[in-house]
A and B are shown apart, each in its own frame.
Chain A
Amino acid sequence: MTDDLNEQAVSGLPGILGKIDIMISRIEAVILAVGVLLMAVNTVANVVGRFVFGESLFFSEEVNRILIVMITFAGIGYAARHGRHIRMSALYDALPVKARRALMIIIAFFTAGIMFMLCYFSIGYIQSTYSTGRLLPSLSIPIYLMYLWVPIGFAVTGIQYFMTGIKNITSEDVYLSTHVVDGYADTETEV
């Protein structure tokens, strides 16, 4: 699984928007890496705690719950940026370049639309979770806080696909994301 990603930050957006975009990309990368490391440390500490000290960390599970939401919703934007979402591309790959580009434009805009819808609905969900005042039982943190990254993740992903659509309209090649050209090396994601 040696799948190191293009480290250079590129944005499809002009000017100040591009800078914000690059910043979001960097934040996503840090959240992904730090999220996984924190999860590993937390889970390992819980195991060590149980075997060495005979006591589990009472908050361990809730911390992981928070981290998994963070990793998932930071990751979907990052995956969209790098064209890494899992697709069944066999039929698509058999098409000529022009048809692929047309199909990719449809895929990109449709996906963006769905992401913006989910972004909107998840804001509604956060509002309702906020109003019930539910808490995480051990940490006593309001549950809505852990969902704050959800609409952001959907919005960032939606923007990435929207820009991929624009990129495909304005260029000759087929783009999987704003800076990943379609090709076998990038279409499959290791799972």
Chain B
Amino acid sequence: MMTIMLGTMILLLLLGFPMMIPLVTAALIGFYMMFDGFGQMNTLIQQLMGGIRPAALIAVPMFILAADIMTRGQSANRLVNMVMAFIGHIKGGLAVSTAASCTLFGAVSGSTQATVVAVGSPLRPRMLKAGYKDSFTLALIINSSDIAFLIPPSIGMIIYGVISGTSIGELFIAGIGPGLLILFLFSIYCIAYAIIHDVPTEPKTGWMERLKAVQEALWPLGFPVIIVGGIYGGVFSPTEAAAACVLYAVILEFIVFRSLKAIDIYKIAKSTGLITAVVFILVAVGNGFSWIISFAQIPQALLGTFGINEAGPTGVLIAIAVAFFIACMFVDPIVVILVLTPIFAPAISSTGLDPVLVGILITLMVAIGSATPPFGCDIFTAIAIFKRPYWEVIRGTPPFVFMLVLSAALIIIFPQISLFLRDLAFR
């Protein structure tokens, strides 16, 4: 049964079916085989509904809405300008600024793709003009945007938190350390790259201009304060932080900056609704799929087959890292989290691993996998947004993938990179 289910799912995924179809078809096959026909389909529908029931999921559309308002308004640009004013002039400064801007915008946005659009679109032309190769520029933008997935808020973490029953607030806080570690590694590489290729430096910005850039960015800098400060300080739950971000974004862009008109809100809401629906139908069918594999005890059988139950905590962590990484080289990260998390759940609970640490590692691995050839979906986002050929987009990625894998190894060896802030806030 599990061979037929998983085989059908992978086949349909690779053939290019809309991703809800492989998942729900596998679930339908599972129900049919388990109950000798379609007599128990109420339970499948019940579980589809159960998938989108958790209140914590409301944070997803709220963060998408807030980020969408800011991307169309001025917040994103103001953040980029401030970073540029301070580090634009050092060797490799433009590249470092791009990575730093992605990190900073990541503190506002929950998704990789939104960050590619908001930061990558304006900065790529400037980098090309400054003399960086396009393959380096594209790889930098794609991989730096993955930092956004680790820096709170993160849609991947929300969905992992909901299906594994892990505190989303703790996940958010635990993502900050690894996010900054990656930014640090990328910055070193950017500076080294600029020195080796002798990329000319940008003119230095005067203090008055810097002051102005900071002033302009002060308002948008309120977002990380709301999200990180609010959750860290125990003022907000993640869902409340998301709602506060929406309110703040509306006040900023519609009232303070006057960059958007009231009529725009309809368009933005519709676009948010569409993205939400496309993600949530996957969450729904993913829950139906995980119900039938749980009912048929497939995870236990699979983990037994691969001997993972005897692997010990570090072995399980490595197995999880490898599985999520490989899967995300082929499939959308949300789908990977939905399918693989329930499969590994028994191993995670039996080894006593910290589910927050596991969540951070999973989030990092899906981000890496998404930027890794052959089919990592960030690559296709970049192809679509920048209209560049496949080879050009992937040529510069190997050094970045190496640094990301190094970060993953460091997090497995030194969990405190991730857990230090969490323990400080919640323990």
Residues of A bordering B, CB below 8 Å: 1-5, 29, 31-37, 39-40, 43-44, 46-48, 50, 61, 64-65, 68-69, 71-76, 78-80, 82, 84-93, 103, 107, 110-111, 114, 117-118, 121-122, 124-125, 128, 147, 150, 184-185, 187-191
Contact = CB atoms under 8 A, between A and B. Distances in A.
Interface string B27-61: 01000000000100110111011001101011001
A4 to B, nearest CB: 6
B42 A124 contact: yes
Contact of A190 (B113, B240, B242): B113
Interface stretch (B174-182, B196-204, B374-382, B410-418): B374-382
B246 A40 contact: yes
Contacts of B18: 80, 85-87, 107, 111
B57 A40 contact: no
Interface in B347-393: 374-375, 377, 380-381, 383-384, 387
B208 to A, nearest CB: 33
Contacts of A89: 16, 380
Given A39-B61, A188-B381, A75 B274 contact: yes
A33 to B, nearest CB: 4
Contacts of B335: 86
B13 A44 contact: no
A125 B45 contact: yes
A118 B24 contact: yes
Given A33-B266, A71-B61, A90-B374, A191 B113 contact: yes
A37 to B, nearest CB: 5
A150 B49 CA distance: 9
A2 B117 contact: yes
Given A44-B247, A72-B284, A90-B380, 4 more contacts: A1-B71, A3-B271, A84-B278, A91-B14
B278 A75 contact: yes
10 contacts: A5-B270, A36-B65, A40-B62, A46-B240, A71-B273, A78-B274, A86-B332, A118-B24, A184-B384, A187-B380
Contact of B269 (A36, A87, A90): A36
Contact of A43 (B19, B38, B239, B265): B239
Contacts of A72: 52, 276-277, 280-281, 284
A188 B273 CA distance: 16
Contact of A37 (B45, B240, B269): B269
Contact of B384 (A4, A34, A61, A185): A185
Contact of A68 (B57, B118, B374): B57
A43 B16 contact: no
Q: Which 5 A-B pairs have the closest CB atoms?
A: A75-B277, A32-B273, A92-B16, A85-B18, A125-B45
* Contact-size category for B: 35 or more
A191 B242 contact: no
B42 A125 contact: yes
Contacts of B42: 121, 124-125, 128
Interface string B150-162: 0000010000000
A125 B284 CA distance: 15
B386 to A, nearest CB: 10
A15 B101 CA distance: 52
Nearest to A40: B246
Contacts of A46: 240, 243
B292 interface: no
Which of A1, A91, A111 has the most CB atoms of chain B within a 10 A radius of its CB?
Answer: A1
B46 A76 contact: no
Contacts of B375: 88, 90-91
B331 A75 contact: no
Contacts of A39: 58, 61-62
Contacts of B64: 1
A64 B58 contact: yes
A88 B45 contact: no
B114 interface: yes
